């Protein structure tokens, strides 16, 4: 969209600034502009543009040689910008704020907590059309309809043109008019309509686009469209606890194994909140993968449910945003960025699968949606419910310290029983393509009983390496310190780190040998080998390669739900939200990569994925079994987790983190840098460290590194990092507040790409 003037068809005109300079001293507004600047820019607000609340309104301002759309975050009567340098706001785009005070506060807090550019934070919070200057109103739809005169017109009025007569008849048949876009399909030509218009028989008007056609009438239908389930004792307990504080801020951690009825608890709490005319915000990890959650909210309530997902176009996204802002949407469901959805009257915030790493944005503005959701609930004075079968250690820590209320659902709903978990020591077994004899035997038996098998392997593609048998050459990504993954479907080499692709060489480029062997296991390979190992069995594969093909996922889930015996092979995608009632055997092909990783969160991730994958099994009447293949059967994580469960493991893990002075006992921030020359980033971080050391005083803050990133080269850039560890959040932020301006002021900083990650989830 062109940046000159508001979008065509915009309902609210922009107020243009007068050219002459105003007589009274102008108000100074502080504007977040779309740029990496970590501060607000001051502009004068001509009196003609003042009036009403300006904070939260969009303005057009000059920025360098361009004109950009920014958002006013504040006003002031004092500015450091000399009067002759202070540029005026060119236009005000909103008579009333698009960002209500609560969202403005959230954005400001996030910009300061993550030490990130406010303009970029605002860009995350605003739908793209609003960023581009589109009017903050629903789209108007041009519609042709018959005038009253046209309706009563005698046949003689169109006697001379059969086409006109047909067009008029069509308009009369559609009382609400026919949208312009549909005219073609009805065989109506514009010329006929114009002719009818000249005779006063037809007119073109603009109507409000009615949102979410198909939604129930929000006012007249009863709230509930289906009867809630009778709550179990655990559910009733959890419900009572939240209901007792439904009007106040409190964090509730609802911990319950998969199938224990957490979603039912969300639904019943949502009913209470909706009944009081308030809105519910539900955050989920990956919406495309949890259609069942969306479906259950839609089925339960006769109220508009707005779903923010990646499939929306810009206009649909803006309309959804406006529906939430106006209060029309009773329930707003979305992934990470939905935490910034405006709500007219928030009543409850729910974060489902709160441990999921996808809530943390991994580039640019690295916010954590769960943490911001908690802040939002606090600002709004409403409860927030975090749900998970495997809560993050941070959340368990907060529950243990009493900061969060800890509610447990210990029983599986209905008659489903918990699956049995066993370790298989594969050191003593012959492995065929990663599958041990006992796992294969159990798989055959399960299929023979007419039940389903789920095999989990955390790598997609055919094999994670292609190696020359003669000289040991490996196919490495040209741009990363990483091996290419071999894919056979379709055939190519793929770097999972930078996305680059290459053809599969016929011969070794080093020695010319032709014996290139795939090493290691991926989902494709397991699927292929199962074809021989379990002849005749139906095989399905679920990973991001198959899920990307649009129609595949629903079709695949349908097959699994049909209940015929089959083997489902997949990555951690399997662990997310799906209910597989007919799966009674879960095989974890390789637990060891998680056990061996250097990342301090690797153990937590492995424990979560094991429990989550296990949770897919045995949900109906049939009991489930989980077999974990490992070469480290005595590893404390496995022993504790499998024998005593997630909570017991988590207690151990928290104790270990405490000893190692790792989060949640301490707070971390990671300064990352990357550059095209190999030592630039590292050298720059050395300088940052030197400057940072001077700020340390006698605080017990620790600087670790700098060191090359675990993957030192990625996407053609050399990467390094400096880790900051502080005893608590306050200490960390007091330090960063002083460090970041130093970095920004240093001209050397322009030689690298640097970023700051507060509360990093990944240390690479
Ligand atoms: P979770 O969200 O913890 O995985 P769900 O709320 O999806 O659990 O519940 C799992 C299954 O048990 C669903 O099919 C649900 O309909 C059923 N269920 C939940 N609560 C009850 C209840 N109180 N009585 C009977 N069935 C229930
Ligand atoms: Zn070779
Ligand atoms: Zn790469």
8 A C-beta contact, residue 548 and residue 555: no
Instruction: Report pLDDT for 177.
Output: 80
Distance between CA 383 and CA 349 in Å, rounded?
A: 7
In this structure, of 383-397, 398-412, 420-434, 448-462, the range with the lowest mean pLDDT score is 420-434
8 A C-beta contact, residue 367 and residue 358: no
In degrees and rounded to multiples of 5, residue 266 shows phi and psi of: -60, -45
Say if ligand 1 is within 6 A of residue 413 CB.
yes
Please enumerate in sequence order all residues whose Cβ is within 8 A of that of 554, keeping only pairs 6 or more positions apart, or say none.
291
Q: What is the mean pLDDT of residues 174-192?
A: 80
CA 493 to centroid of ligand 3, rounded, Å? 10
Q: Which fold has domain 420-460+521-656?
A: Rossmann fold (3.40.50)
Instruction: Report pLDDT for 438.
Output: 92
For residue range 641-662, list pLDDT tens digits in order. 988 889 999 999 999 999 989 9
Please choose, from the candidates 506, 518, 510, the residue with its C-alpha nearest in 3D space to the C-alpha of residue 470.
510
Say if ligand 1 is within 6 A of residue 414 CB.
yes
* Token digits of residue 763: 């240390």
Q: Which fold has domain 28-131?
A: GIY-YIG endonuclease (3.40.1440)
* Token digits of residue 482: 């990483």
pTM of the model: 0.85
∠364-338-270 over CA atoms, to 5°? 150
CATH class of the region 667-758: alpha beta
Q: In this structure, which residue's CA is closest to atom 27 in ligand 1? A: 413
Q: In this structure, which residue's CA is closest to atom 20 in ligand 1? A: 261
CA 713 to centroid of ligand 3, rounded, Å? 9
* Token digits of residue 617: 């099994």
Instruction: Report pLDDT for 636.
Output: 87
Distance between CA 371 and CA 382 in Å, rounded?
A: 15
As beta bridge partners, residue 41 has: 31
For residue range 683-706, list pLDDT tens digits in order. 999 999 999 988 887 678 999 989
CA 477 to centroid of ligand 2, rounded, Å? 17
Q: How many CB atoms lie within 10 A of CB 526?
A: 25
Average pLDDT, the chain: 87
Q: In this structure, which residue's CA is closest to atom 23 in ligand 1? A: 231
- Mutate which of 267, 413, 415 for ligand 1? The one with the most ligand atoms within 8 Å of its CB, which is 413
Domain residue ranges of the chain, discontinuous segments joined by + = 28-131, 140-208, 233-409, 420-460+521-656, 464-519, 667-758
Say if ligand 1 is within 6 A of residue 258 CB.
yes
Q: What is the mean pLDDT of residues 88-99?
A: 93
Strand ranges in 426-535 using DSSP code E only, listed in sequence order: 431-432, 435-436, 452-456, 465-468, 485-488, 491-494, 501-502, 516-519
Helix (H, G, I), strand (E, B) or coil at 306: strand
| Locus of tokens 């820019």 | 41
8 A C-beta contact, residue 695 and residue 739: yes
- Mutate which of 256, 264, 389, 646 for ligand 1? The one with the most ligand atoms within 8 Å of its CB, which is 264
Q: Is the pLDDT of residue 528 over 50?
A: yes
* Token digits of residue 660: 């190692």
Say if ligand 1 is within 6 A of residue 235 CB.
yes
DSSP run (H or E) holding 180: helix 180-183
Highest mean pLDDT among 6-15, 180-189, 545-554, 564-573: 564-573
Helix (H, G, I), strand (E, B) or coil at 407: strand
* Token digits of residue 591: 């637990």
Distance between CA 481 and CA 709 in Å, rounded?
A: 11
Q: Is the pLDDT of residue 15 over 50?
A: no
Three-state SS sequence of 334-345? ECHHHHHCCCCC
Distance between CA 92 and CA 50 in Å, rounded?
A: 9
Distance between CA 699 and CA 689 in Å, rounded?
A: 15
Instruction: Report pLDDT for 506.
Output: 93
Please check whether the two domains, 233-409 and 420-460+521-656, share a CATH topology.
yes
8 A C-beta contact, residue 123 and residue 340: no
Instruction: Report pLDDT for 6.
Output: 35
Say if ligand 1 is within 6 A of residue 262 CB.
yes
Helix (H, G, I), strand (E, B) or coil at 58: strand
Q: What is the mean pLDDT of residues 575-588?
A: 81
Domain 233-409 has CATH 3.40.50.300: yes
Instruction: Report pLDDT for 451.
Output: 92
Give the CA count within 13 Å in the CB-facing half-sphere of 1.
Answer: 20
Q: Is the pLDDT of residue 102 over 50?
A: yes
* Token digits of residue 204: 């073109």
Query: Which atom of ligand 1 is nearest to 266's Cα?
Result: 6
Distance between CA 22 and CA 282 in Å, rounded?
A: 47
């Amino acid at each position: 969209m062109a940046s000159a003037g508001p979008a065509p068809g915009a309902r609210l005109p922009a107020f243009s600034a007068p050219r002459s300079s105003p007589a009274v001293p102008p108000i100074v507004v502080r504007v977040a502009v779309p740029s990496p600047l970590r501060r607000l820019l001051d502009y004068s607000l001509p009196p003609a543009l003042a009036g009403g609340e300006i904070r939260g309104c969009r303005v057009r301002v000059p920025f360098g040689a361009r004109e950009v759309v920014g958002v006013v975050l504040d006003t002031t009567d004092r500015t450091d910008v000399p009067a002759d340098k202070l540029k005026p706001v060119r236009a005000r785009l909103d008579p009333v704020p698009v960002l209500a005070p609560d969202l403005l506060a959230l954005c400001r807090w996030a910009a300061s907590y993550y030490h990130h550019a406010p303009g970029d934070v605002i860009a995350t919070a605003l739908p793209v059309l609003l960023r581009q200057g589109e009017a903050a109103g629903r789209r108007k739809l041009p519609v042709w309809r018959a005038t009253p005169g046209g309706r009563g017109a005698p046949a003689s009025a169109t006697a001379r043109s059969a086409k006109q007569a047909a067009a008029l008849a069509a308009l009369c048949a559609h009382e609400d008019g026919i949208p312009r876009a549909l005219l073609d399909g009805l065989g109506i030509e514009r010329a006929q309509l114009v002719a009818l218009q000249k005779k006063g028989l037809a007119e073109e008007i603009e109507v409000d686009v009615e949102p979410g056609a198909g939604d129930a009438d929000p006012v007249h239908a009863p709230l509930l469209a289906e009867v809630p389930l009778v709550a179990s004792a655990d559910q009733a307990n959890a419900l009572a606890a939240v209901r007792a504080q439904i009007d106040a801020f409190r964090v509730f951690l609802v911990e319950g194994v998969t199938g224990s009825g957490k979603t039912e608890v969300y639904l019943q709490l949502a009913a209470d909140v909706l009944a009081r005319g308030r809105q519910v915000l539900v955050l989920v990890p990956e919406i495309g993968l949890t259609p069942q959650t969306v479906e259950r909210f839609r089925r339960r309530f006769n109220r508009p449910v707005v779903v923010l997902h990646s499939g929306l176009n810009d206009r649909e996204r803006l309309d959804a945003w406006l529906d939430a802002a106006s209060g029309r949407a009773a329930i707003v469901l979305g992934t990470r960025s939905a935490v910034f959805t405006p709500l007219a009257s928030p009543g409850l915030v729910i974060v489902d699968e709160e441990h999921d790493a996808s809530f943390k944005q991994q580039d640019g503005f690295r916010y954590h949606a769960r943490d911001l959701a908690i802040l939002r609930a606090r600002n709004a004075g409403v409860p927030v419910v975090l749900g998970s079968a495997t809560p993050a250690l941070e959340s368990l820590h907060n529950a243990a310290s009493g900061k969060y209320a800890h509610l447990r659902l210990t029983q599986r709903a209905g008659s489903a029983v918990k699956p049995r978990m066993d370790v298989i020591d594969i050191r003593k077994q012959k492995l065929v393509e990663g599958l041990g004899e006992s796992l294969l035997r159990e798989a055959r038996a399960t299929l023979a009983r007419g039940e389903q098998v789920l095999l989990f392997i955390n790598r997609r593609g055919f094999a994670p390496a292609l190696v020359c048998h003669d000289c040991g050459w490996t196919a490495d990504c040209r741009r990363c310190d990483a091996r290419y993954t071999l894919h056979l479907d379709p055939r190519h080499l793929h770097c999972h780190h930078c996305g680059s692709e290459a053809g599969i060489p016929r011969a070794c480029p080093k020695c010319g040998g032709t014996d290139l062997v795939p090493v290691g296991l991926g989902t494709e390979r397991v699927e292929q080998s199962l074809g021989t190992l379990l002849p005749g069995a139906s095989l399905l594969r679920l990973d991001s390669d198959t899920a990307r093909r649009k129609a595949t996922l629903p079709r695949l889930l349908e097959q699994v739900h049909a209940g015929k015996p089959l083997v489902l092979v997949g990555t951690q995608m399997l662990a997310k939200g799906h209910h597989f009632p007919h799966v009674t055997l879960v095989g974890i092909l390789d637990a060891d990569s998680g056990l061996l990783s250097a990342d301090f969160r690797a153990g937590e991730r492995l424990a979560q994925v094991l429990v989550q994958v296990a949770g897919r099994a045995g949900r109906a009447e049939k009991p489930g079994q989980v077999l974990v293949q490992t070469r480290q059967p005595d590893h404390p994580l496995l022993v504790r987790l499998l024998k005593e469960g997630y909570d017991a493991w988590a207690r151990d893990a928290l104790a270990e983190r405490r000893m190692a002075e790792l989060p949640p006992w301490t707070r971390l921030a990671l300064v990352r840098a990357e550059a095209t020359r190999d030592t630039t980033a590292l050298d720059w971080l050395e300088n940052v460290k030197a400057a940072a050391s001077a700020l340390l005083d006698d605080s017990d803050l620790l600087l670790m590194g700098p060191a090359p990133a675990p993957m030192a080269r990625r996407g053609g850039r050399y990467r390094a990092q400096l880790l900051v560890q502080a005893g608590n959040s306050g200490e960390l932020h007091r330090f960063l507040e002083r460090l970041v301006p130093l970095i920004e002021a240093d001209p050397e900083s322009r030689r690298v790409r640097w970023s700051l990650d507060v509360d990093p989830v990944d240390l690479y």
